[in-house]
Chain A
């Protein structure tokens, strides 16, 4: 009689353990299958044009003429690759100083009410849907650029400005976390040596947290690189490498979203769009690798 309940408890414990492990293994397996099949799907569609000989890889990557509907179609994606990198780098250049200053303000200058005030506002930015950013860009930034600078307002500059606001929260929150996790004694010893707050920030805090802040910048760039709708609305989408910041250009994402619904699955034009999706995916891998490398350097 005394052994029996003990045995059931023992069994129950084992069953629970088994169920838990089985459920988790199932979820992990499912996740792996999903990721692998997505990569396989994009890759197989993306290389279809190259395998069938429809388009040469070099023509696709470095060709500057995109005219898929012409009688002799050409699928040069270089203008889009260039456009994507251009707006991404510009957006990072605009957003990084703002974000790093916001993070410093929240963690070093006024950690109390500064953080309470600034953090929710910045987090709010990440919750706004991208179509709203696009529409605000179209209604506010584009007319402003048109009235103050050459060109029609629509173009690379408008795209970069819209993107920079969109990636602010990413960079700020990663940078703020990095700054907050800095050991207190580093700052204290700097102050003990008689350094001012500015000297401490510029000579001690920023250099030691630099890799972590760069992680935020790279994550922000990854977001900017993949953003589609907002950029598509304000950048103009002409398939050419822009000659100035105020000229219409395209990004990989904007061309994909404009063309995907209008082309039929399996046509060379549709496959060319998948090739661009493949380029986007490979770039994301590069961004992830960069973040990994930065994290390894991050050990203080």
Chain B
């Protein structure tokens, strides 16, 4: 009896592995052949091979991408149920470290949030970098400045420069629109654009929603702030950094330094279903489709990589 049971289990497992590989092959085919192949793909993967539910939570910046990819993945694998929740990077990391969720989405490396007493928890987490988000300094269009150097940005965000005329712009007081101290976007901007942490200044404005930040910068005379590339439009002026324009190509080539990975953390190595979903996130279908469509930069195309310490190396 015991023998028979384990036999069946082994058989089931191998079939799951074999069929899920088959499913992935189908997905790749779908990318190559366009829309028609997608239907065949759904037929091929009858939904029996992968099953289970995946719970992901965390970064609200990454949430739209994971949600959209999850929809597609569930269409192709009827037995899989994926739920994506927001809550913030800290929440995602906490919950994945405590095994409350399968995937913790984060804008920052786990080591940056889980420090000191929690460092062990960070070590247990496995990092999956699915996309890159670049952040650009933006100003109110009337400020009259196109580019700022690193030193000028540091001086502005530490309160040394208080008027746009000091950096070659209009005679207008500078109003800083910041993110809260715990924000991942602010951490990225401070470490890669400013190279230093900054204190909050009296009179500065802090908002946590990118939409609100954009609205305030667009309407407030003399405002300066920073936004992810996907939020940029004509209502705000995008500033070059040391003369380098914050464009997708410059980020991919490693010329523009202010960017960060979007991470999907699992606690230990992921199980079959979670692994299949994470692999799906890295397929061309998602990387050149949804990732680009939603304004992120495909992690797979990056010509440089960066580690926790911020050291950039060419791939």
Instruction: Pick from A67, A247, A250, A261: contact of B199, CB below 8 A.
Output: A67
Within 8 Å CB of A153, what residues of B? 220
Residues 76-90 of B, flagged 1 when their CB comes within 8 A of A and 0 if not, give: 000000000011111
B115 to chain A, nearest CB (A): 8
Contact B89 A261 (CB under 8 A): yes
**For residue A69, which residue of chain B has the nearest CB?**
B181
Given A258-B208, A261-B88, A138-B118 contact (CB < 8 Å): no
Most buried by A among B97, B115, B202: B202
Contact B212 A138 (CB under 8 A): yes
Residues 13-25 of A, flagged 1 when their CB comes within 8 A of B and 0 if not, give: 0000000000000
Most buried by B among A143, A258, A261: A261
Within 8 Å CB of A257, what residues of B? 208
Q: Which of B71-108 contact A (CB under 8 A)?
A: 86-91, 93-94, 97-98
Contact A263 B205 (CB under 8 A): no
**For residue A269, which residue of chain B has the nearest CB?**
B182
A234 to chain B, nearest CB (A): 10
Contact A68 B181 (CB under 8 A): yes
Given A146-B220, A154-B216, A237-B206 contact (CB < 8 Å): yes
The verdict on A152 contacting chain B, using a C-beta distance below 8 Å, is: yes
The verdict on A233 contacting chain B, using a C-beta distance below 8 Å, is: yes
B64 to chain A, nearest CB (A): 16
Contact A264 B203 (CB under 8 A): no
The verdict on A270 contacting chain B, using a C-beta distance below 8 Å, is: yes
Residues 248-262 of A, flagged 1 when their CB comes within 8 A of B and 0 if not, give: 101000010111111
Q: In the bound complex, what is the Cα–Cα distance between A66 and B271 (angstroms)?
A: 42
Contact A154 B180 (CB under 8 A): no
The verdict on B114 contacting chain A, using a C-beta distance below 8 Å, is: yes
Q: In the bound complex, what is the Cα–Cα distance between A196 and B220 (angstroms)?
A: 52
Count contacts on B: residues with CB < 8 A to the other chain. 39
Contact B180 A262 (CB under 8 A): yes
Contact A233 B182 (CB under 8 A): no
B203 to chain A, nearest CB (A): 5
Contact B182 A238 (CB under 8 A): no
Given A236-B205, A248-B204, A262-B216 contact (CB < 8 Å): no
The verdict on B113 contacting chain A, using a C-beta distance below 8 Å, is: yes
Within 8 Å CB of B201, what residues of A? 238
Number of A-B contacts (CB under 8 A): 107
Within 8 Å CB of B212, what residues of A? 138, 233
Within 8 Å CB of B113, what residues of A? 263-264, 267
Instruction: Pick from B97, B98, B203, B216: contact of A138, CB below 8 A.
Output: B216
Contact B89 A258 (CB under 8 A): no
Residues 197-215 of B, flagged 1 when their CB comes within 8 A of A and 0 if not, give: 1011111111110001001
**For residue A238, which residue of chain B has the nearest CB?**
B204
Q: In the bound complex, what is the Cα–Cα distance between A263 and B93 (angstroms)?
A: 9
A197 to chain B, nearest CB (A): 47
Contact B93 A264 (CB under 8 A): yes
Contact B182 A259 (CB under 8 A): yes
**For residue B220, which residue of chain A has the nearest CB?**
A152
Residues 266-277 of A, flagged 1 when their CB comes within 8 A of B and 0 if not, give: 110110000000
What would 9 more interface pairs be, CB under 8 Å, given A232-B207, A267-B118? A69-B181, A138-B212, A152-B205, A154-B220, A238-B203, A255-B180, A257-B208, A261-B90, A269-B182
Which residues of B does A touch, CB under 8 Å? 60, 86-91, 93-94, 97-98, 113-115, 117-118, 175, 180-184, 187, 197, 199-208, 212, 215-216, 219-220
Which residues of A does B touch, CB under 8 Å? 66-71, 138, 142-143, 146, 152-154, 232-233, 236-240, 243, 247-248, 250, 255, 257-267, 269-270
11 residue pairs of the A-B complex, CB under 8 angstroms, read A232-B207, A237-B206, A238-B201, A240-B203, A248-B204, A248-B205, A258-B180, A258-B206, A265-B94, A269-B182, A270-B90
